[in-house]
Amino acid sequence: MKHHKSGHDSTTRNLIGNEAIIKGDIQSSGDIRIDGTVIGTLRSSGKIVIGQSGNVSGELECKQADISGKVKANLKVEELTVLKATAIFEGELTTQKLSIEVGAQFSGKCEMKQPAPDEKK
């Protein structure tokens, strides 16, 4: 029997809808999509997606970030950060790779660094 593992099998997805307003800390081992408002600390060992109607203030830590909405935060991303054309980002960004589409607004500080050899998994 062949064991076929795809990234979709074990990944949990969490959705915060556009009517939702959450104040506090959120921690997840899976992917999170935010179309509502989150004020606080958000940590995910997966991907965080901020939809066009999403609005996040506080701190974000994740493996990958895909931003189309408003983010005013300290953002720490292990791998890739994507700012879509509709993104408005204000704050400090630490990431390995960064992609910014034309039209995106970026205001703040960005530090791009590779992980130390002992941090790689």
**Sheet architecture: strand order including 31-34:** 13-16, 31-34, 47-50, 64-67, 80-83, 97-100
Question: How deeply is 33 buried, as exposed, middle or buried, from its count of CB atoms within 10 A (0-12, 13-18, 19+)?
Answer: middle
> What torsion, rounded to 10 degrees, do the Cα atoms 94, 45, 20, 66 define?
50
Helix (H, G, I), strand (E, B) or coil at 57: strand
**Dist CA 41 CA 28 (whole Å):** 11
Tens-place pLDDT, residues 64-83: 999 999 999 999 999 999 99
Task: Output 107 or 6, whichever has higher pLDDT.
Answer: 107
Tens-place pLDDT, residues 22-50: 999 999 999 999 999 999 999 999 999 99
Task: Supply the pTM of this predicted model.
Answer: 0.83
